[in-house]
Chain A
Amino acid sequence: MSVPRLAAGLAVAGVGLWYLAAVFVPGEGAAAPPAAFTSSAQCRECHATVYAEWERSQHAYSWNNPATRFLSNDFANHDCIDCHASRPVFVTGIGERVLPREERRVEGVDCISCHELPDGGMAGTIADPRAACRPVERIELVRPEFCAGCHNQHKTVDQWRESAWPARGMDCLACHMPFRGGDPNAGRDHTFLGGNDLAMLRRAVTLAGRREGETWVAEIENVGAGHAFPTDERSRTADLFWRPLPAAGAEPGPWRFLHRIRDPYRTETDLPITLLYSGERRPLPIADPEARGAIEVALFYKRSPYWEDPSAPDPEREAILVHRIRLEP
């Protein structure tokens, strides 16, 4: 190669590199991106608010949750791993069932699970080439199909599709990832509130009662969930109990079981599916002769279907009280 030709080549290459640097390299304020994302903790530096929200969420807890560990036999039940420590959704495909990952399982469903792209880049709802992770805009992030790979394993997304909620423009994010303070400019909340939040539980269903002759009829209605109540994991259980109201000053007796709302495990072939679907109202007569006077009825929610002593459950200690009503003649 001749020296002039080499010099010309180098000169043109220099100009070209200057051009590329000016156009594509972020200016001051943008940190260098990591070579590879090996932990969601890497996201914390720039996204402290989101990270703190996620850290409190069930997604962050999906691997270490004691109930999950117990119910999955410490993940010896392999089919739980796919969703509880999934590969990135963008890698396995939107709407496709997710696959399990080898690494950072302890972080559960983390930033990388939802935001990492097949090329190792990051997806966001807004593109920002000046941010360290250079997010590109991927609108799929806000669509129900994005959640479906995991959350339709127990038909939650199908339940939503069959409800009146899509027609109202209410999707997964509307309830579970609302804008912070209702302000679209503030970004979406990443605590993913659901059955773990008492206020949401209370909004999901109403509990009422009426008299039919001598019999009380409790009535539960799914008014606020765009899917069944409860939904998703089969372990989630809502139980209705009743008991006679004691005379003034007396201690109330033990709660008496009335009705269970749940999708049984596949091995519980002798149990019916009793989920309360979106918009469904379910009357529950209380035929016990002791229920003819004043009674109270309560709805309890649990993340496990098991009571410590099935013959004498103690819902006030073992479950979350969602609603409680007094019915007096």
Chain B
Amino acid sequence: MKPLPPFAVLPLLLAALAACGDEVPPAPAPAPFPLRAVVDAELAALDRALAAEEGPARGEPADVEQVHGLLEMLASATGAMREIARQEASGLGDPAVSELARVLADPDAKLAIRVSAVEVLGAIDTPRAAAVLLARMEDPEPLVRAHAAWRLGQGAQGWVVPGLVLRLKYEKDHETVVWIAGALARFGNFAGLGGLETVAATAPGEAVRASAGARIAEILAATSFPDLAALAAEWRRGDPGRRLPAPPSSPRTDREVWRLLSRLREFQLRGVDDARWVVSALDRRAAELTARALHDSEVKTRVHAAQCLERMGPRASVAVDELLAGLAEPFLAPHAADALGAIGDPRAAAPLAALLDPPAGYGLRLAAIRALGRLDADVPGAARDRLRSLFAASETPEVRQAAAESLVRLGEGGDEAVLALADLLVSRAVEPVSSEAVLREHLARRAEAGDEAARGALAEWDARALATDRILAPGEAEASRAARREIVRKLVGGGE
């Protein structure tokens, strides 16, 4: 008999295995996380809905001479004459917008005339007029930018908020920063508070500092908050007590958000970073739309949408359900875990605890370990036990570090976890910045609780902190971290 060729054995093998096997029920499939072209579809729908409104300017074209006459009068007249001119100008409406835009874009036009054009556009206060003002937020002349921000803040076009937030990222003129922050606050967005506070405290020039101080006073009066820190904290928490003015919501505002979300898939990270920066600084409604974008078929959109929600923090609590569902999508999952940790919603505790071990991937496990540490009291006992065993097992330096950080944050790891983090400050195997933050939080917590030794250690720690205003010399970071390791070791009894 001719011997069988080796490959002929395979079908026999398969047949035999099939004959031997009893039926095994298939493993339950993970809950599907549907993907589709979310961003394109939402944008197209809004474009269609808004198309009718955004057709050509209605009415007779403006009388160019009349427009210029009014601009001259606004630039030169005072008192009642000026008020008459302003009222007449505001009645010009959309037909005048294109001529006003032309004047504003003319570098040879007198500055006073250009500023008057800004005023008239602000008085017209239509989407078309506001779009021109928003575009002029990139005008080379700071006075034009500052006036445009002010006028936008006086109007009713809340959809300009994302555009104003983007300008905050690039604006260098202190006065303009003040007016952008003021305009944003009027629309219920408090992303400009930090800039306002910085200008009020450090800007060169008394006038601009006073201007910032006046805007701060206005904002606090309008919101009934005692100070900026309390207001900023409420904004970051997502205004759970509904104490802040409701941000304007409209299809036009939504479209601006979707336009930003559509940039998340761009190849060049420059546009991605702009969009991420703006979306992260928006309100609950933006978080809601961003949560929908987690289902986009483009992976970059999903990942960066999750990063936006992470940076929003508790303000993005509306996205928790979608983020939890996103833990089933391999590309999205680690970023969804990060976002859930930053939001700090107790609903995330059990699903994150289920990801501490394989088959969850290594990156997802790390993200879940870190995220649990940010959920504070909501972490179940079993998950705390597992964090302790992950810390003790030292599977990799990263897992040990992540577990130690979470344990210290949860107040669970005792001195052993604190010492481990201090030692990891000088390890080349892990990124030390997150451990530095956790250790500082730990020292601050103890100091706040009245621990005098911790208070001293915290002062020493801060004195040895890394410089952030220059490139560090070789070995400088290592020396600083080694010194801070000793501060911690001395405090918790691990030092020499």
User: Given known contacts A36-B362, A66-B472, A78-B273, is B6 in contact with A23 (CB within 8 Å)?
Assistant: yes
A32 beta carbon closer than 8 Å to chain B: no
Instruction: Give Cα A73 to B303, complex, Å.
Output: 21
**Complex Cα–Cα for A12 and B12 (A):** 7
Q: Which residue from chain B places its CB closest to the CB of A83 in the assembled complex? A: B269
- Report chain A residues within 8 Å CB of B398: 38, 103-104
B277 to chain A, nearest CB (A): 9
**A interface footprint on B431-457 (CB within 8 Å = 1, 0 otherwise):** 101000000000000000000000000
A39 interfacial contact with B, CB 8 Å: yes
A162 CA to B468 CA in the complex, in Å? Answer: 39
Chain B residue contacts of A104, Cβ below 8 A: 398
B interface, CB within 8 angstroms of A: 6, 9-10, 12-17, 19-20, 169-170, 172, 266-270, 272-273, 276, 299-300, 303, 307, 311, 331, 334, 338, 362-364, 366-367, 396, 398, 428-431, 433, 468, 470-474, 476-477
Given contacts A8-B16, A19-B6, A70-B471, 13 further A-B contacts (CB under 8 A): A9-B17, A15-B12, A16-B12, A38-B396, A66-B476, A74-B468, A78-B273, A82-B269, A83-B269, A97-B267, A102-B338, A103-B363, A269-B170
Q: Are A102 and B269 in contact (CB under 8 A)?
A: no
Contact at A66–B474, with CB atoms within 8 Å? yes
The answer to whether A16 touches B276, judged by C-beta atoms less than 8 angstroms apart, is no
Query: Quick one: given A79-B272, A266-B270, are A102 and B367 in contact (CB under 8 Å)?
Result: yes
Q: Could you list 22 A-B pairs, sorted by A, with CB under 8 Å?
A: A10-B16, A10-B20, A11-B16, A12-B16, A16-B13, A16-B17, A23-B6, A38-B362, A38-B398, A70-B472, A74-B468, A78-B273, A79-B270, A97-B267, A97-B268, A100-B303, A102-B364, A103-B366, A267-B169, A267-B172, A304-B471, A308-B470
Q: Produce 1/0 per residue, A97-119, CB < 8 A to B.
A: 10111111110000000000000
**Interface of B: prevailing SS:** helix
Closest beta carbon of chain A to B484's beta carbon, Å: 15
Closest partner residue, chain A, to B4 (CB atom): A15
User: Which one of A5, A71, A75, A104 has the greatest number of beta carbons of chain B within 10 Å?
Assistant: A104
Closest chain A residue, CB of each to CB of B271 = A79
Complex: A135 Cα to B137 Cα, angstroms: 54
Closest 3 CB pairs of A and B: A16-B13, A79-B273, A102-B363
Nearest chain B CB to A192 CB, angstrom units:
20
The interface residues of chain A lying within 8 Å CB-to-CB of B311 are: 78
Q: Which of A8-40 contact B (CB under 8 A)?
A: 8-13, 15-17, 19, 23, 36, 38-39
The verdict on A9 contacting B299 (CB below 8 Å), with A66-B471, A79-B269, A153-B268 known, is no
Q: How far is the CA of A96 from the CA of B476 in the complex (A)?
A: 37
The proximity string for A residues 64-89 relative to B, scoring 1 for CB distances below 8 Å and 0 otherwise, is: 00110111011101110011000000
Note all chain B residues with C-beta closer than 8 A to A16: 9-10, 12-14, 16-17
Please tell me if the beta carbons of A74 and B433 are within 8 angstroms of each other in the complex: yes
Cβ B13 vs Cβ A152 within 8 A: no
Q: How many angstroms between the C-alpha atoms of A328 and B433 in the bound complex?
A: 53
Q: Chain B residues near A70 (CB, 8 Å)?
A: 468, 470-472
Chain A interface, number of residues (Cβ within 8 angstroms): 49
Whether A13 and B17, one on each chain, are in contact in the complex, defined by CB atoms closer than 8 angstroms, is: yes
Contacting pair B431 A105 (CB below 8 A): yes
Bound together, the chains give a CA A253 to CA B10 distance in angstroms of 84
Check if B471 sits within 8 Å of A67, measured CB to CB.
yes
Chain A residues, Cβ within 8 Å of B331 = 99
The answer to whether B472 and A15 touch across the interface, beta carbons within 8 angstroms, is no
- A105 to B303 Cα, complex, angstroms: 17
- Of A15, A79, A152, the residue contacting B267 (CB under 8 A) is A152
Shortest distance from the beta carbon of A307 to any chain B beta carbon, whole Å: 11
Q: Residue A19 contacts which of B10, B272, B362 (CB distance < 8 angstroms)?
A: B10
Q: Are B430 and A106 in contact (CB under 8 A)?
A: yes
* A99 B396 Cβ-Cβ under 8 A: no
A15→B16 CA distance, assembly (Å): 11
Q: How far, in whole Å, are A119 and B463 apart by their CA atoms in the complex?
A: 48
Contact between A79 and B300 (Cβ–Cβ < 8 Å)? Answer: no
Contact A66 B270 (CB under 8 A): no
Contact of B477 among A13, A17, A66 (CB under 8 A): A66
Compute how far the CA of A88 lies from the CA of B292 in the bound complex, rounded to whole angstroms: 27
Asked if A267 contacts B364 (CB within 8 A), the reply is: no
Of listed A5, A17, A70, A103, residue having the most chain B CB within 10 A: A103
Cα–Cα distance between A230 and B331 once the two chains are bound (Å) = 34
Structural contact, B363 and A101, CB atoms closer than 8 A: yes
Q: For A12, list chain B residues within 8 Å (CB).
A: 9, 12-13, 15-16
The docked-state distance in angstroms from the alpha carbon of A118 to that of B268 is 23
Q: Is A51 an interface residue (CB 8 A)?
A: no
Q: Does A247 reach chain B (CB closer than 8 Å)? A: no
A63 at the interface (CB under 8 A from B): yes
